[in-house]
Structures are given as structure tokens and as C-alpha cells.
Amino acid sequence: MAKRRILAGGIAQESHSFNPVPTGRSWFNIRAGAEAVEAARGSNSVLGGIVDAAGENGAEVIVPVIFRAQSGGPVEEAVFAEMRDRMCEAARRGDFDAIVLPLHGGMLTPSLEDPEGALMVALREIVGTEVPLTAGFDLHAHVTPAILARCDLLAGYLTNPHGDQGSTGRRAFRAALDMLDRRLRPALAAVHLPMLTLGNDRTDEEPLLSLHARARAAVEAGAAYDVSIFNAQQFLDVHGLGQWVLAYGNGTAPDDLALELAGTLWDRRRELIGTYPSLDEYLNRAARGTERPLILGDQGDRVAGGSPGDGTYVLRALLARDDLPPSAVPVADAEAAGACQAAGPGATVTLTVGGRYSTVSPPVTVTGEIVSAGNSAEVVYDGPADAGYRARLGGYAVLRVGKVHLVLTDQPYSYLDPGYFRAMGVDPARMGIVITRSGYHFTLNYAAIGECVTVDTPGMTSYRVGELPFAKARPFFPLDDVDFTPRLHPKGSAMP
């Protein structure tokens, strides 16, 4: 038998509808061809899982292009169009047996609420319905009927914080291979729920812990081929926002399982609204002294949730106290980073930073010594989440203001991995306080360094979603009193 060839690639970015800063091409890490395959090999990423599974099964992976960026504002139209056109050009050559897409599922452009669905529509128009097409999505994806109509099997992360990106890619690859070998005829039972989870949606805690255990048991018992529970990005103002339960069977859809899982999710919806400790509580702890660094997630300005990353709320709190240990706090500010690069390490500068887009706290004027600066740096993730993934950073500088190490960058980063700080000359293990632009995804990769806690801060990505001007997405719980009974998505009606 000739070696199977798998077409993979696409774009992965999570968008925030209310972030006014567009995500442009320069904000993406872009790879193609053999470079993309080799960079992914062995990494805990969706593409890494696809590449590794293909190698174990004697298959070859073709990557026309893969775009990957931090979360942020909607992606510029030209960026999506470039990726789509390159993927479609490769699809027209027809030298492959199946398509397996490593995507995110929560992206927007100014004109598209569902770019991933639009990509699948374009690919299906070229390859028809007989070529297997599967995909790996983030657990926070915005799933749509257009996607379900074109994708033979959609595998979502099963962990939050996310640690199973690679195994998600493997699940998507395995489904495509099983279809090619005629071992699988995917049959989908899908249920949509008009609700959001707001802060209490870790899969290693209740109520999602037992829900995922029930789904896993069904797969292990052969009652389903694959099950994903999608909890949706909370800051997408799009039609049909909400949760999805997808249960795939082989030949027969596991309708009862999908309804059971969705019914439990809906019944426990109030438990999915979380609360967080105050920032002051943990600054007071740091002032008293701790055995390990405190790694704090600034949930109100989470770049991991799509914020601009230029908030000054935490920075102001750190600067206001002289009883705290050394700290590291990031602020995205291209002008300030550029001024530090121009002055160079060792110089003392006075700058006004942040607060341009994240307006809950005004800009801050600081005077400090530049300890490092550069036009670029490379991050290699420690993991376990995305372990081995390499990302190229843009311009940066570290300004020491008293005991505060202010990390300035020309674009926002989530700091999901300690490698971000180290790449710019800051060792988080030597700090008493480290601020990340993340809610809880950072906890996996910083667990070896310090105590990880998400603190309650205001901002664009605060879970107080009632403060956001939703227009298209409503009604949904908890903003609306929705009269709803979970029901199966109609078979065969997913075509837009």
C-alpha cells in the first residue's frame, strides 16, 4: 500500500469581539512545509499530535502553511485570506488522502463570525464529500452548524487548563485513518446549550470533572467513538454562542449519551460561575513572605482571553507598596518598548506606559533602569501544555522600577509559559511575585516554579460579562433567563 498523505495546516487564534486592536500578520508565527512539520514533531500541540501519530502509522503530513498567534482582537481579513488561499491551492493539487486541521475554533475576522467554518466550506468545495476531513479544536471553540456539516469528526481538548493538545491532534488523525481504512463511519449526536461558563470551568474540578469522567467512560466502554464538550470563548459576540456536546458513534449516533451529558451541563449551569480572591489578599501574603513565588493570573486583562494586555491595574498596585518582594509584571506598549530599545540597557528613562486600550486603569508614568532590550527573542515552552512549542517574540524591554521588573513588549502576550519571561532576561523563579496575562492556563506550566492563583481584577476579560455590550449573542445564560430544554441538533440540517 502506498504511503498515506495527510493535508494539515490552517490558522489558530482566539478572538475577543470587544478588543479594538486587530491581530495582524506580524503577530503570527507562520511556518510551512518541512519546517512546520519538524517544528511540530514531538511537541504537545495539535499539529504535533498529528505529525507524531502520522509517523507512527507510516503516513506523511503535508503542511502548506500554519498560522498561530496569541489571543487578541479579530484577525485582519487579508491574513485569513492568505491562509485560506494557500490551503486551497494545496487542496487543488489533490496529492493527499485525508485532511486533518489543527485549528482553534474561536477566531473572528471583521466580516466572518466563523472563519474556521469558511475554511472548511472552501476545502469541501474542492475535495468533495468523500475525502475524510477532521479537525482538532480548543475546548473554548465556537462550534457552528457550518463546521458540523463539513467536518467528519471534530475533536476538542478534554482538559482545562489545557494539557492535551497533542492527544487531541492524535484523536483527529486516528478518526481520519479509521475512515480511510473503513473502520469508522462517524455518526454525530450534537446538542447546543445557550449558556456560558464563567470562571468555574476547570475540568479537574466539579462540576466538569464528573461530566468528563462520564464521557470518557462511554468512550472506553465502546458506547461512543469520541466525545467532546465545548465550553466556548466567553467574549465572542456572535450568533449561536454557547456550549456544544458532540458525541460520535460508529454507524449509529449515541443520542442518549449526548442528551445525558448536555442535560447535566445545563442543570449545573449555576455552578459554573466562579469567584476569585482579591489582588490585595495575595499582595499582603507576599509582603509577609512565602516559601515559593506567587504566580498570579490577572483575569481582568487576560491576553489568553483576548485582551490587549496593556492594563495597569496590577502595575499600579505593585508600585504603590514598598513592602513587596521583587516582582515581574508585563505591559504591552510598543512605543515604550521602542523607547527602551533606543536608549539601550543601562540607561535610565522616564516613560508613560499602558492604559491605551485597557481603560479601567489610566496610564502610569515610571522612571527606571533598562536591564534588557531587543528586537526579537525566541520562546521554547517548558510545558506540559504545548511542551516544546517554539514562538518568536517581537521587540521587548525590561525596565526595573524599584523592585518591579516591568516587561514591555510591542505586542501582547499571555505568558502562559515561564519561557516568555526568561527569553527577555527575567527569571520568574527569582521573583517573589510574577503576573501573567492568563486566567488559569498558566497554572500547568508554572506549577514547578511557584504557587499559582488567579486574582479578581477588572478589565475587558473579567468574567463580569454583563458589563460588555453583547448584541448578536444574546439571549444566553447567565445574562438572560432562558427557557430551554436540551435537544438534539437536527440530523442533516447543519448546512447553512
Last residue of a domain, one of 219, 242, 272: 272
pTM score, whole prediction = 0.93
Closest-CA residue to 235 (of 416, 106, 414): 106
Model confidence over 245-278: pLDDT tens digits?
Answer: 999 999 999 999 999 999 999 999 999 999 999 9
Find the mean pLDDT for residues 340-356: 97
Closest CA to 230 of 300, 305, 144: 144
Q: Is residue 464 scored above 80 in pLDDT?
A: yes
Do residue 202 and residue 316 come from a single domain?
no
Output the furthest CA–CA distance in the chain (Å, rounded). 70
Instruction: Dump pLDDT digits (tens) for 69-111.
Output: 999 999 999 999 999 999 999 999 999 999 999 999 999 999 9
**Shared domain check, 161 and 303:** no
**Mind listing the pLDDT tens digit for each residue in 388-446?**
888 899 999 999 999 999 999 999 999 999 999 999 999 999 999 999 999 888 999 99
pLDDT at 439: 87
Q: Are residues 133 and 176 in the same domain?
A: yes
401 part of a folded domain:
yes
The answer to the question of residue 486 being in a domain is: no
What does the pLDDT average to over 140-154?
97
The reported pLDDT for the residue numbered 1 is 62
For the cut 50, the answer to whether the pLDDT of residue 492 exceeds it is no
Domain coverage including residue 357:
279-462
- What is each CA distance from 265 to 97, 134, 218, 244, 248, in whole angstroms? 37, 25, 16, 10, 18
491 pLDDT above the threshold of 80: no
Give the Cβ contact number of residue 239 at 10 Å: 11
Structural domain contains residue 361:
yes
Residue 238: is its pLDDT beyond 90?
yes
Residues 159 and 295 in one domain: no
- pLDDT above 70 covers a percentage of the chain that reads 99
Among 237, 272, 307, give the residue marking a domain's end: 272
Query: What pLDDT does residue 441 have?
Result: 87
Say whether both 204 and 260 belong to one domain: yes
- Shared domain check, 295 and 153: no
**Choice between 2 and 193, residue whose per-residue pLDDT is larger:** 193
Average pLDDT over residues 10-26: 97
Cα separations (Å) of 387 from 31, 49, 250, 444, 447?
Answer: 18, 12, 32, 11, 14
State the pLDDT at residue 334: 97
Q: Both 248 and 334 in a single domain?
A: no
How large is the average pLDDT for residues 283-310? 96
> Percent of the chain scored above 90 by pLDDT?
96
Q: In a 10 Å sphere around its CB, with 0-12 CB exposed, 13-18 middle and 19+ buried, how is residue 3 labelled?
A: exposed
Residue 386 is predicted with a pLDDT of 87
Q: How far is the C-alpha of 196 from the C-alpha of 412, rounded, in Å?
A: 25
Say if 481 falls within a structural domain: no
Measured CA to CA, the distance from residue 174 to residue 379 in angstroms comes to 30
Residues 421 and 437 in one domain: yes
In a domain, 472, yes or no: no
Segment 324-342, tens digit of pLDDT: 999 999 999 999 999 999 9
pLDDT digits (tens, 9 = 90+) for 354-396: 999 999 999 999 999 999 999 999 999 998 988 888 889 999 9
Average pLDDT over residues 445-465: 95
In the numeric block, which cell numbers belong to residue 139? 475546548
Count of domains for the chain: 2
Would you state the pLDDT for residue 493?
41
Count Cα neighbours of 364 within 13 Å in the Cβ-side half-sphere: 24
Is the predicted pLDDT of residue 232 greater than 80, yes or no? yes
Domain CATH number, residue 214: 3.40.50.2300
Domain contains 130: yes
Q: Do 187 and 331 fall into the same domain?
A: no
**Is position 319 within any domain?**
yes
Is 38 a domain residue? Answer: yes
Give the domain-ending residue among 272, 306, 334.
272
Q: Identify whether residues 349 and 433 lie together within a single domain.
A: yes
Q: Buried b / exposed e across 467-478, counting CB within 10 Å, b at 16+?
A: ebebeebeebbb
Q: 163 with 127, same domain?
A: yes
Q: Specify whether 191 is located in the same domain as 302.
A: no
